[in-house]
Amino acid sequence: MLNEKMKPKEKPKAEKSKLQLLHQYYSYTGFYKFVWEAIKKAFPYIIGVVVLIYMVNHFFNINDALTRLTEILPAYGVLSFFFVSETLLGLVPPEIFIAWAGKMYNPWFYLGLLAVLSYSGGLLSYWMGRTITKIPSVHKYLEVKMEKQLKNSKKWGGFLIMVGAVLPLPFSIACIAAGIIEFPFKNVIVYGSLRFIRFLIYGLIIFSAV
């Protein structure tokens, strides 16, 4: 009994932070490995697209052409063009349209319209992804050759949407991918709403510079 009393008390283990727990979860579930494998497979295509854009931009200034387009088209034309862009892959940088909104008589109103159109375009892209899976050849390919990847993707669909909504990556592509893996639409609505935060931040930055 005496020896037991004289033993130093063990220090309680420090509780892990939420960030550490999240990192541990992603490590155990193979998330990092999955992302790395996806990046390796997509890398040649990304390089090809970048080279193509660089070559086109070398002979034809894409940003100047888009800026000129926003000056020629009426407001509804610019908004329509933006909505189509945000629905179909979203390869046109939203910053160009945000700069256009900053020159309008009511910048924040037009910024709000752009945010709503971008968000709506992403949701529409989701259903485009769901429609793609109805094609028999695509469905068979996903079910047979992509079964493991789809299973992993469904675990991290929320992360995929959040990255597309906040970071300077095509939001439409993230939503199409979410549709292909049949990620719950109600979750896409929630996670995708972070898109509004991105437009708010970009608006504060770009409007001060315009």
Q: How many CB atoms lie within 10 A of CB 142?
A: 18
Spatial separation of the C-alpha atoms in residues 57 and 39, rounded to whole Å: 25
- Name the pLDDT band for 28 (thresholds 50, 70, 90): low
In a domain? residue 93:
yes
Asked whether residue 98 falls in the same domain as residue 178, the answer is yes
112 & 34 share domain: no
pLDDT of residue 192: 92
Question: Which pLDDT score is estimated for 143?
Answer: 58
My answer on whether 52 and 119 are in the same domain is: no
- Name the average pLDDT for the chain: 75
Domain total for the chain?
2
CA atoms within 13 A of residue 15's CA, in its CB half-sphere: 2
- Whether 173 and 115 map to the same domain: the answer is yes
pTM of the predicted model as reported, rounded to 2 decimal places: 0.68
> Average pLDDT, stretch 19-34?
63
Instruction: Say if CB 179 and CB 153 are below 8 A apart.
Output: no
**135 & 184 share domain:** yes
Same domain, 39 and 142: no
The range of the structural domain enclosing residue 37 comes to: 22-60
Cβ partners under 8 Å of residue 48, min gap 6: none
- Which of 208, 178, 202 is CA-nearest to residue 93? 202
Q: Is the pLDDT of residue 145 over 90?
A: no
Please check whether residues 139 and 203 belong to one and the same domain. yes
In a domain, 8, yes or no: no
Whether pLDDT at 155 is above 70: no
Q: What mean pLDDT is predicted for residues 29-51? A: 58
Give CA–CA dist 204/120, Å, rounded. Answer: 22
Mind listing the pLDDT tens digit for each residue in 105-142?
Answer: 899 999 999 999 999 999 999 998 888 877 776 656 55
